[in-house]
Structure 1
Amino acid sequence: MKHKQSMKIQTWLRPIAIGAAIGIVMVTYPAVAQNLGDNSLLGTPLGRSVSVDWSVNKEQTKLSATPKMVVYRSPSCGCCGGWVDYMKKQGFPTQVILTSDIEAVKQKYSVPDRLASCHTAVVNGYVIEGHVPVNDVKRLLQEKPNVVGISVPDMPVGTPGMEMGDRKDPFTVFSFDRQGKSKVFNKYPSS
């Protein structure tokens, strides 16, 4: 009699235990939850096997730590492609949007004319204008100042994407706000 009662309790508790385990897995391993889609295991009849992919996509995990960057650039600009490649190598996942009206993008994101360059990027709500070095982008994202973004105006030789041998022109990275006011964010002397 005790054995039958014990089996009834086990049968009754099994779906609860499975549901709790699945909840823990879904919270701990969101990729697994994503793979399950609409086929929730909670409604799976007992005894039915379910296949779950437990592998971890290392590339996806690595990139999730660095925010996605959207880069607007002209289709004919080669140095913009050089900067995008540089940012990708530094771990920033990028989406490139080719546009023939880059000026409209600069106006949309409040880039002052005097700080304009050849491409405009947006990452975590900040604007990155021109050939800004990755350390300045990382600093901006870490410090989170109350600015619209940062810029390297024009296209100084020696900046990322504008390499020409050993030549490096001095340049300044500026921060700017919605009113167009700018401040020095970083300075790079010539070498």
Structure 2
Amino acid sequence: MNRRATSLLLTASLLIGTASAVHAALPEEATLYKNPQCGCCDEYARQLEERGVTVTIVDDEDMGKIKQEAGLPYGLGSCHTILMGDYAIEGHVPFEALERLFQELPEIDGIGLAGMPIGTPGMPGPKRDDWHVYQFTDQEPSLFMTL
């Protein structure tokens, strides 16, 4: 085998290994709490499942209670709350933020994206503004990342 072929094979295996590592960082299971009428939440769950996560959807729960138990900061809610691994994920958090969360495993309660921004996973349309994903512990938010 010549050098060029060896180099190509090595590069390909590194790329495949990197892609697997990012994918493998997400937990295998998640529970998504939502309102029964919310279709965008179902779409978010579907996209999580495409990434290898088995999602259990729970409708008709007291969403205020779920958010309070998760330690969500007041006023930064969205349409659904996910319990995944040791974290709460609030709203339509972009998957880049989820991947970073589960790669770094910070000592926080969770991350979220307030509202239902257009262009995020599950929300149709083009991205309009920066997305400010926050992290929180004991209902106190701070910036996690901007996308």
Deviations 1:34-62 (A, max 9, x none): xxxxxxxxxxxxxxxxxxxxxxxxxxxx9
Deviations 1:14-49 (A, max 9, x none): xxxxxxxxxxxxxxxxxxxxxxxxxxxxxxxxxxxx
**Superposed CA RMSD:** 1.9
Aligned to 2:129: 169
Q: TM-score, normalised by structure 2?
A: 0.77
More strand as a share of residues? 2
Residues 29-178 of structure 1: pairs in structure 2 closer than 5 A: 66-164=27-125, 166-178=126-138
Identity percentage over the alignment?
33
| Cα distance in 1 between the residues matched to 2:106 and 2:55 | 22
**SS in structure 2 at match of 1:95:** strand
Kindly tell me: are residues 143 and 71 of structure 1, through their superposed partners in 2, closer, same or farther at Cα, counting changes over 3 Å? same
**Runs (4+) of structure 1 moved beyond 4 Å?**
none
Aligned to 1:28: none
Aligned to 1:183: 142
The answer to whether the 8 Å contact 2:111/2:133 transfers is: yes
The answer to whether the 8 Å contact 2:89/2:110 transfers is: yes
**SS in structure 2 at match of 1:153:** coil
| Cα distance in 2 between the residues matched to 1:169 and 1:87 | 23
In structure 2, the gaps of 5 or more residues are 1-22
In structure 1, the gaps of 5 or more residues are 1-61
Which of these two proteins has the greater Rg computed from alpha carbons?
1
Q: TM-score, normalised by structure 1?
A: 0.60
| Cα distance in 2 between the residues matched to 1:129 and 1:186 | 14
Deviation for aligned residue 1:167: 4.4
Deviation for aligned residue 1:93: 1.3
| Cα distance in 1 between the residues matched to 2:124 and 2:74 | 24
Deviation for aligned residue 1:66: 3.7
More helix as a share of residues? 1
